[in-house]
Amino acid sequence: MTELGQLSCWVALLMAVWGAALSCVGALTKRGAFVASGSRGVHAAALFVTLASAGLGWALLTGDFSLRYVAAFTNEVLPLGYRLSAFWAGRAGSTLLAALLLSACVPVAVAAARRRDGAVAPWVTTALGAALALLLSALAAGAAPFGRFDVAPVDGRGLDPALQHPGMAILRPLAYLGYAATLVALAHALAAFASRRLEGPSPSGVRPWLIAAWCALGASVLLALRVGYAEPGSGGYWPWRAPGAPHRSSGFDVVVALSVALAVLVAGARVGRAEEAGRARRRRWAALVAGLTLLTLGFAGTAFRSEHVVSLADGESWRTADPFGRAWSFTSQGASRIERPSYFLTSLALRPERSGVRQPFLTTEWREFYGRDGRERFPPFITSGLRGSWIEDVSVMLVSLGPGRAVVRISFVPLAGWVWFGGTLALAGGALILAPVRSRERADG
């Protein structure tokens, strides 16, 4: 199966180049045979990318450690779900994932373009074939995930614990899906320009892909912020990371995704203004503005967070006041340490009280992952104990642990919940702006 995957990468590259070239020539010379051949070539490239992805997925699920990629990102004790997410843990797998998601869009995009305007479809095929060829050329140039060991190891190194999180498992596919939809929208726009159909129905074909791109990219940004905020040891991103927490992400991916999402929103708004006008469209900006306002207020509130590093013995209590002046106390319930497959788990529970009223327990965990020989291979993975409300979030993070005593960081974060509500509202508002105005709304405008 893996040999088929390696071969499929090369065949897919050849088919993508063939399809893009033939479609371009057919569009320029108005020769239907070339156009049809180019379309079949790009569809064949998408099929072979799927076969290559299936080959890598099979190797990951079955634990074929003779593949360098499988041995680098999985091991025997890794749960089945995270074996699949190891697909995009490395650069080669991420490139193949991007090609797979773009390939999934190709048949839909080409068929939709052919239904809307036959003169535009060859140019859409050309653009998508060229984009697919660029991704596949990176795999052919040495990033293919099918390299083998001469002698297969008994077990693999394992997956970075920062990626062993449900949010991180879907974050990259979500972002890459947004990039793929953006490329399809760009292909439609370039096709309309090349065929001189800017005033015809072809620009409208951009709108569904802009909506998909905005939703996927916006959701990936919110997910990265949420995971980085709630799980300091993860690969997510939060601008005000707690001191001492492992810094595994520079936020570059978040900035790129946000930049592309904003560009998508601007382009979609221009398409909407070109086709529809009036109060109906202007009213849709209210949700986006309200969401961005709440998002800004939430980030402004989190800047006034208060943090306390406290050393607590088992059973000892510590008292303080939050930024709103409310009295809090935290009582240590002691720490426990157990061994799980591939890591040691240390957990600490605190019993909080606010103004004398007992609150739910806050539990923070510290996971130390180790390899087959018992040596640690990854930085500790920290999970915060978090309790959220509309006014503020209270979080507890384990800093260090000694005999009968633990050092914890207790944080009060005002208005943190507004970030998630405002971000979701802004995401929905942007989708409404990109959506077409119905006839009734157009008449009201």
* Model-wide pTM > 0.95: no
Q: What is the pLDDT of residue 366?
A: 85
Q: What is the pLDDT of residue 192?
A: 76
Q: What is the pLDDT of residue 200?
A: 47
Q: What is the pLDDT of residue 201?
A: 43
Q: What is the pLDDT of residue 103?
A: 94
Q: What's the CA gap between 143 and 146, in Å, rounded?
A: 9
So where are the chain's domains?
1-159, 161-273, 306-416
With respect to CATH, is domain 306-416 assigned 2.60.98?
yes
**Across-strand partners of 338?**
345
Evaluate whether 72 touches 90 at the Cβ level (below 8 Å). Answer: yes
Question: What residues in the chain have per-residue pLDDT under 70?
Answer: 1-3, 142-143, 196-205, 233-236, 239-252, 270-283, 371-379, 437-445
- By DSSP bridging, strand 306-313 and strand 357-358 are unpaired
Q: What is the pLDDT of residue 197?
A: 61
Residue whose tokens read 């993508």:
16
Burial of 172 (0-12, 13-18, 19+ CB in 10 A): buried
Which tens digits make up the pLDDT trace of 86-138? Answer: 999 888 999 999 999 999 999 999 888 888 777 788 999 999 999 999 999 98
Evaluate whether 370 touches 344 at the Cβ level (below 8 Å). Answer: yes
Q: What is the pLDDT of residue 43?
A: 94
By residue count, the chain amounts to: 445
Q: What's the CA gap between 198 and 202, in Å, rounded?
A: 7
